[in-house]
């Protein structure tokens, strides 16, 4: 059955300009997120299709590409329930979320108090999630064996927790009738991709093989077997006529998972070192297959 969803045209010139002034553009992500593709957006814009029908992002994170594209139709998903619930709370009642955020200040003692005493109410809990994300170390999301957020205080330079105007603009885009946000794994959502859709896959990955401090965490979160399954799902979506874009580590083993895909190697400074002077270069790749 052929869908009647109209095609969305991609203006790469407009998107490129917006990506270049990303820190001042709205909407832009209201969360920091370790592994965010903000720094790679200009490269991703280069490989976007001329048109697409529905946008799919099964590793949502902060939603950098989604907020850049602002599509009318999208399926946004993530396995992290707290993240998804925060997006939904912002979508449904941004003013209430902002009211709760306004009571929270960037302070070490307040941070640890909030971290240890999470609220049960949906909108207050979302405000706490945004606050903890802002005040924690490098926007990292990590939980212990009990499921409790355990990232330490990051002493952010700015005392501003949130840009109110930007959060409202994010809520407006998320509130569009064609935008669906849900908690789900990539294996649950990617089979729904159809001909003419645009898929952006940004799975968790390490950029130094097994030589960096996050390998144990990443291997638990997203194993090599998961990488293999993600690649299979990406290939299947491309074979159904979707335009598929993947960001991943520039490793031979990873690239071998995507036969027939184009590859653009990239090098950038890591954002995970606390001291910017100690941030080494990391090697990443944009991997894609066009539907045209």
CA distance 134 to 128: 10
Assess contact for 251 and 229: CB atoms under 8 A. Answer: no
63 confidence band (pLDDT: 50, 70, 90):
very high
Neighbours of 239 (CB within 10 A): 11
User: Where are any strands of DSSP class E within 7-161?
Assistant: 8-9, 51-52, 55-57, 74-78
Assess contact for 32 and 138: CB atoms under 8 A. Answer: yes
| Sign of the CA dihedral with 258 first, then 191, 225, and 142 last | positive
Residue 280 has a pLDDT of 61
**Is a pLDDT exceeding 60 seen at residue 159?**
yes
CA distance 171 to 161: 17
139 confidence band (pLDDT: 50, 70, 90):
confident
Q: Which residues pair with 182 in a beta bridge?
A: 77
pLDDT (average), residues 54-80:
96
207 confidence band (pLDDT: 50, 70, 90):
low
Specify which of 27-36, 119-128, 198-207, 272-281 reaches the highest per-range mean pLDDT: 119-128
CATH number of 8-79+184-289: 3.40.50.150
CATH number of 86-164: 1.10.1020.10
- From residue 18, alpha-carbon distances to 11, 45, 262 in Å are 11, 10, 25
In which region does residue 147 sit, left (phi positive, over 0), alpha (psi from -120 to 50) or beta (all else)?
left
Q: What is the DSSP string of 46-77?
A: HT--SEES-EEESS-TT-HHHHHH--SSEEEE
Whole-angstrom Cα Rg for the chain: 19
CA distance 46 to 69: 13
pLDDT digits (tens, 9 = 90+) for 1-54: 455 778 899 999 999 999 998 888 899 999 998 777 888 899 999 999 999 999
Domain assignments of the chain as residue spans, ordered by start: 8-79+184-289, 86-164
């Amino acid at each position: 059955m052929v869908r009647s969803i109209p095609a969305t045209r991609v203006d790469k010139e407009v998107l490129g300009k917006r990506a270049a002034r990303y820190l001042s553009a709205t909407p832009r992500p209201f969360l920091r997120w370790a592994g965010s593709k903000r720094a790679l957006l200009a490269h991703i814009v280069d490989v976007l299709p001329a048109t697409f029908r529905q946008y799919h992002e099964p590793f949502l994170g902060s939603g950098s590409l989604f907020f850049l594209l602002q599509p009318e139709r999208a399926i946004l998903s993530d396995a992290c329930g707290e993240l998804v619930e925060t997006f939904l709370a912002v979508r449904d009642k941004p003013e209430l979320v902002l009211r709760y955020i306004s009571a929270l200040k960037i302070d070490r003692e307040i941070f640890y108090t909030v971290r240890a005493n999470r609220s049960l109410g949906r909108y207050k809990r979302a405000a706490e999630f945004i606050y903890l994300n802002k005040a924690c170390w490098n926007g990292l999301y990590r939980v212990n064996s009990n499921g409790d957020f355990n990232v330490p205080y990051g002493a952010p330079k700015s005392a501003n927790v949130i840009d109110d105007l930007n959060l409202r603009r994010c809520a407006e885009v998320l509130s569009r009738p064609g935008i669906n946000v849900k908690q789900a794994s990539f294996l649950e959502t990617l089979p729904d991709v159809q001909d003419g859709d645009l898929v952006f896959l940004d799975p968790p990955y390490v950029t130094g093989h097994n030589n960096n401090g996050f390998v144990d965490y990443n291997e638990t979160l997203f194993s090599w077997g998961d990488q293999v399954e993600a690649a299979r799902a990406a290939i299947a979506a491309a074979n159904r006529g979707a335009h598929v874009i993947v960001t991943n580590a520039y490793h031979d083993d990873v690239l071998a998972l995507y036969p027939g895909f184009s590859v653009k190697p990239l090098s950038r400074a890591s954002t995970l070192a606390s001291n910017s002077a100690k941030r080494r270069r990391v090697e990443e790749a944009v991997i894609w297959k066009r539907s045209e």
